[in-house]
Amino acid sequence: MTDIEIIQLILQGEKEKYRLLMEKYQPLVFRTCLGFVHNKNDADDLTQEVFIQAYQSLSSFKGKAAFSTWLYRIAVNASLNRMRKSKKKSILQYFKSIHGTEKEIQDQLIYETPENPEEILISKEHSDWLR
């Protein structure tokens, strides 16, 4: 049975067939996520998230590319999003440790007027990191 046939059955109500796709592509999704996050537990979590997201979006799969390609792209995007969130948290924690609470940091960034173009750029980057 092909991936397309399995997907058609799932969309017709045979939801338990999704397990076939999960078993087939779990190694691909896990390796993809692990390649980004370098942590087995995070990769396991992301793998679950990817399969949930893929299931919820299955009706939008058009079959123009292989299902594995579509699933791989979801895994890459989920991994990149996780890395961005993690990076934002790290930066915010760093600033909190130096400058105090998030409110105090925002006040400093808003009310300190930069004097030259480099300071304006740095101030904008700091503000973007906090969003």
pLDDT tens digits along 26-84 = 999 999 999 988 899 999 999 999 999 999 999 999 999 999 999 999 999 999 999 88
- Report all structural domains of the chain as residue ranges with CATH numbers, in order of start: 3-83 (1.10.1740.10)
Taking the C-alpha atoms of residue 84 and residue 82, their distance in angstroms, rounded to an integer, is: 5
pLDDT at residue number 85? 82
The pLDDT score that the predictor gives to residue 84 is 84
Predicted pLDDT at 99: 57
Is the CB of residue 20 less than 8 Å from the CB of residue 6?
yes
